[in-house]
Structure 1
Amino acid sequence: MSVLIVIPARHASTRYPGKPLVELKGASGEARSLIRRSWDAATAVSGVDHVVVATEDERIRDHAQDFGAEVVMTSEKCRNGTERCAEAVKVLGVTPEIIVNFQGDAPLTPTWFVEDLVAGLRADPDADVATPVLRCTGRMRADLLADRKAGRVGGTTAVFGHDGQALYFSKEVIPYAADEFGPDDLSPVYHHVGVYAYRPGALNAYPQWSEGVLEKLEGLEQLRFLERGGKVLCVEVKSRGRQFWELNNPGDVSRLEAMMRAMGLD
């Protein structure tokens, strides 16, 4: 097997319990669950051999199986999606070349984000993990800043070196910039797209490490790799006119639905 996509879907979310089963209405008004939309997005990616949903919850399992998804049951003890992916791979008993963690709360993730991500990891043999970053327009940056000002944990931002190696990820809007940017102007802020591509060795090692200090403070699983000296490659992706946002809070439902209407996505 070359590429395996795992969609981790946890019912007991701290910020939004039951989030994978929340319904979103597309442009036509049809309502589909978040996990169904994430499954549809993941299975549309080219060059993938296998897609599974990994969950700890029977309600998610039953719902996913109803729409035809393959489901792997994982432990309630998994602390984040990366640990759930690692356990799912063990349950499946496979060793793919690359494992992709396709977040179950990002149904607007375009196929080329994942395709470019896999290509980026293959092109850099020194990287343990790769993850996409999207350069923010002034409008996107303003939305991130508005969430923080309102006390909401919204999107994550990333900073990286000239070689693409991640320096840090944060739920704060970094880097700081005193300048204002027009709605369609490019800003120096990069929105971290919550998808990961792992090499098997890095993914297998991850659950054996204790939770890192920065990981715990930020609530960002990828920081465990950085704290252990791993190389996390940031792969810049292009929006190609597509809007992107994750479902982090209940208020994001209406935002995603508005984006789907604007893009004509069912």
Structure 2
Amino acid sequence: MADRAAAFAIIIPARHASTRYPGKPLAMLAGATGEARPLIRRSWDGACAVAGGERVFVATDDDRIAEVVRGFGGQVLMTGPERRNGTERCAEAVAQIGADIVVNWQGDAPLTPAFMIERLVAALVADPEAAMATAAVRCSPATYAHLAADAAAGRVGGTTVVTDRQGRALYFSKRLLPHVPDSDLARAHDQTLLHLGLYAYRAEALARYAALDPGVLEELEGLEQLRFLEAGLPVRVVAFDPPDWSPIELNNPADVPVIEAILKERGIA
């Protein structure tokens, strides 16, 4: 569990505009009882269940999302429409609440395991030089095979991360890293970490991030976390074994029935 002396806030960035799925935060998801709740409510419920999290907020620039959140009793932080990603939105929002440590809980990931949040905060507290801590899952053979098949077909199946011996991030990529020669493919999954878009930041690091322009690598890969590395800000990676359920994100309408099935399987109303 996270050190309770290290209080933290959870911010859920949410935007209505989305190329793949406009209005995604308001998409309805039915749980085990058949009750349908909007995605942003399910993400909020998950965040509120985290031990040690004193405050949970939704950061958005959209009045429709804000109205729904306030309707179920959630707290809203309004942010500017010019924010380019969730980290920038968190950076603006944290200035309104004054937290020292902020967790970015992805608004499209209602199945995020609570224990990951606790471990991330604890890892950040234990590493005073780290600007941010983020999560990754060790690939199973099946997960690696799926990523490799996507790569072979020219699709992006996920983001991978490679670290140094101390667990600091060396690089994040939408490519399958590290490259493993054919002669060693049997153990390729042992060396591959699938990155999850879950972050715990120090507030001062967020302020530095927001003051920087996106770097070349961030723009090429389309990965916001690379701005930390390009600026020389250390990123702690916390590697987890695969959880008992898939923490799938809702990226397009086809993901709705998959997430609903997991909600029902886990008995989440």
Structure 2-normalised TM-score? 0.89
Identity rate, percent: 53
Which deviates further from its counterpart, 60-69 or 246-255?
246-255
State the match for 1:10 in structure 2. 15
Do the aligned partners of 2:94 and 2:203 also contact (CA within 8 Å) in 1?
no
Do the aligned partners of 1:154 and 1:248 also contact (CA within 8 Å) in 2?
no
Q: Would the alpha carbon gap of residues 219 and 47 (structure 1) be closer, same or farther in structure 2, given more than 3 Å must change?
A: same
Find out whether 1:203 has 2:222 as its counterpart.
no
Q: Would the alpha carbon gap of residues 138 and 163 (structure 1) be closer, same or farther in structure 2, given more than 3 Å must change?
A: same
State the match for 1:68 in structure 2. 73
State the alpha-carbon separation in 2 of the partners of residues 127 and 140 from structure 1: 29
Find out whether 1:82 has 2:87 as its counterpart.
yes
Cα-to-partner distance string for 1:19-50 (whole Å, 9 max, x where unaligned):
11112223343322211111011111111111
Q: Would the alpha carbon gap of residues 66 and 152 (structure 1) be closer, same or farther in structure 2, given more than 3 Å must change?
A: farther
Unmatched tracts of structure 2, length 5 or more? 1-5
Cα-to-partner distance string for 1:139-169 (whole Å, 9 max, x where unaligned):
2223334444565544322111110000111
Do the aligned partners of 1:116 and 1:237 also contact (CA within 8 Å) in 2?
no
Do the aligned partners of 1:159 and 1:175 also contact (CA within 8 Å) in 2?
yes
Find out whether 1:255 has 2:258 as its counterpart.
yes
Find out whether 1:143 has 2:146 as its counterpart.
yes
State the match for 2:165 in structure 1. 162
State the match for 1:216 in structure 2. 219
The number of residue pairs the alignment matches comes to 262
Question: Aligned partner of 2:116: which letter?
Answer: F
Root-mean-square deviation (CA, aligned residues, Å) is 2.2
Do the aligned partners of 1:141 and 1:187 also contact (CA within 8 Å) in 2?
no
Which deviates further from its counterpart, 147-156 or 197-206?
147-156
Structure 1-normalised TM-score? 0.90
State the alpha-carbon separation in 2 of the partners of residues 145 and 108 from structure 1: 24
Do the aligned partners of 1:153 and 1:248 also contact (CA within 8 Å) in 2?
no
Q: Would the alpha carbon gap of residues 146 and 108 (structure 1) be closer, same or farther in structure 2, given more than 3 Å must change?
A: farther
Do the aligned partners of 1:134 and 1:237 also contact (CA within 8 Å) in 2?
yes
Which deviates further from its counterpart, 221-230 or 28-37?
28-37
